[in-house]
Structure 1
């Protein structure tokens, strides 16, 4: 959505000296002076009536009166009439130099204020030419960029800001925001990154800039920088959403820091109730070789769903906790895993020196499906038991 921009309109200064301009007839000058005196007392309607009563065949007089009518109508709060009279003054091409430039500037600003952006653009373009000494043309380029922005004319926004940059650096939030909006709309992701970085330096407490920067860094596959940005945002205690924390965990894991990934997931409100989060934490802890934490996570997962008893049992076996592993294996209900479960139990019993139980488990596994693995276990355990029996006898 395009953000509307509101503008202040500079009041044209109608000095007493301007009434005596050599181009203005004495007849018109007297009435203009009277109208100005009324306007200074904020009697705008009487001042307008005085100007409306002027009848002159001189083009300059007419243009001058139209300009004053535009100013007074604006002061009286009638923008529509102000725009109409100022347009007539500008289109007459009778007002020159500073007076003409200031009149066209007021007309352009009024059009902008009332969202007549397309009509304002040619006036701002004209204002950038033959600028009177002492007038700030950078403001005109800025307004022109804003008009193009409102019309979603993105290339024109950037080209106009390039002209603006000849007079002023683009180092303030309004100009940087315009630049960023155009770059994002044109999908110039790499160009938008330094723009966002500049905005963050100006408004470091605005989290939306940080979130956008992370998005652009991901878009340009700068995953390490995205991690650094999001981690710093977390360090600054910005209110990260659950999606931000999930992304941060993913980035930590991608960089090869699974323990940090697990810790970040653990901060989520449903870290101990969402089975996907629980199992992901378990995987991260296991990758980090934090065995105790991994076991705790698999135990919690198994409480939610018995299918994770197998993952728990595997890790318990690996860590030499054979009795606990057997208990976990007893809870595995998956029929497709029964042969693997029996072989795992055979291994656990063997480690606990329960050769008879181990052999029974191995034979049951072999009965389910003959395999080289189960056959080897049976041969190994049978020979070992014979050896032990021979020693005992």
Structure 2
């Protein structure tokens, strides 16, 4: 699930330097001044009452009063009333230039704070068309992107961030998080990878960035990079989960480093008790040609499930542990492997120079199923035994 980014709206401010502007009638200016003095003492209720008592037919005066009411209601903690009055001020189109722009910015920020994102978007878009020289254009584009993010307008989010980038580089966590969320929603996996790489560099201790980066690298079949990323996260001593370590082991094995894969699995809590983990370690140790380690794991697995006696016996035979191999072969219960078990025992007894026992096993295998292999063993062992008897006689 894509993480929601909560916006942080700056304090709304109202400069009273222009309360006596030439456009404001003397009647209104005097009453506005009184209301402002009350507000400066944080006496918002009487300040609001003073503004509401102003009776004027002048459009500009009315718009100015609505603007002040919006600010005072906000300062008094009544955001809904603040929005109502700021909307009237903006929609009057009487406030121009800097004054009009800042009023609309107040309204957009309040709408954003109150989760009225669609309305906030329309006001932010209007603000972007005429950014005051005293304002930071990148802030407006960022807030627009945040509002679009909340209503899942993913392509517009990226477009707004593209405009943001013209004023300020996208190299901070909030902007990168917005960009990442939109890219993931649009399934632009390859484009999201550089974004995540920047997030990892900015917040190297945040494991979720590493995990998402590895996930995308795997999804785009960049397995080598995924291994490097996850291995680096482990090297940085991040608290990798069992799932992370299992994936790391798989990536090591895929890269052709089975020894590291086995070692990684050995670090899991169930490495010596969970059968699947035990057998996977055994396979990796075999691939790494670490035979004694492989034998140890197959022995552990065979104690839980006798079917792994066959795997154990094969490695024991390969490494010349013939007595131990015979013991393991005796415990193999799979009927479909009986012929192969008998031939393996014939080989083990032959290596131990117990030719009579080897021949018995070979003949029994031949009785189960005639094959060239069993027939060759019988001929070989029979001739060898005759030769040996001749020498001894």
Q: Same fold (TM over 0.5)?
A: yes
Find out whether 1:351 has 2:335 as its counterpart: no
Q: Which residue of 1 aligns with 2:292?
A: 292
Q: How far off is 1:273 after superposition?
A: 1.1
CA distance in 1, matches of 2:6, 2:295: 57
Q: How far off is 1:373 after superposition?
A: 1.1
Q: Which residue of 2 aligns with 1:337?
A: 337
Q: Which residue of 2 aligns with 1:158?
A: 158
CA distance in 2, matches of 1:25, 1:319: 104
* Contact 2:190 2:220 (8 Å CA) reproduced: yes
Q: Which residue of 2 aligns with 1:7?
A: 8
Q: How far off is 1:105 after superposition?
A: 0.5
Find out whether 1:138 has 2:153 as its counterpart: no
* Contact 2:282 2:295 (8 Å CA) reproduced: yes
Q: Which residue of 2 aligns with 1:373?
A: 373
Q: How far off is 1:12 after superposition?
A: 3.0
Q: How far off is 1:9 after superposition?
A: 4.3
Deviations 1:273-309 (A, max 9, x none): 1111111111111111001111111111111111111
Relative to the length of structure 2, the TM-score reads 0.98
Q: Which residue of 2 aligns with 1:147?
A: 147
Q: RMSD of the alignment, in Å?
A: 1.1
Q: How far off is 1:185 after superposition?
A: 0.7
* Contact 2:14 2:71 (8 Å CA) reproduced: no
CA distance in 2, matches of 1:39, 1:288: 78
Deviations 1:26-70 (A, max 9, x none): 111111111111111111111111111111111111111111111
Q: How far off is 1:130 after superposition?
A: 2.2
Q: Which residue of 2 aligns with 1:276?
A: 276
Q: Which residue of 2 aligns with 1:117?
A: 117
Structural mapping, 1:1-393, within 5 Å: 3=4, 5-15=6-16, 17-393=17-393
CA distance in 1, matches of 2:91, 2:217: 50
Q: How far off is 1:337 after superposition?
A: 1.5
State the 4+ residue runs in structure 1 displaced beyond 4 angstroms: none
State how many pairs are aligned. Answer: 392
Q: How far off is 1:346 after superposition?
A: 0.9
SS of aligned partner of 2:115: coil
CA distance in 2, matches of 1:47, 1:326: 98
* Contact 2:5 2:146 (8 Å CA) reproduced: no
* Contact 1:9 1:110 (8 Å CA) reproduced: no
Unaligned runs of 5+ in 2: none
Unaligned runs of 5+ in 1: none
Deviations 1:340-391 (A, max 9, x none): 1111111111111111111111111111111111111111111111111111
* Contact 1:7 1:112 (8 Å CA) reproduced: no
SS of aligned partner of 1:388: helix
Q: How far off is 1:131 after superposition?
A: 2.1
Q: How far off is 1:4 after superposition?
A: 5.1
CA distance in 2, matches of 1:274, 1:263: 15
CA distance in 2, matches of 1:282, 1:302: 11
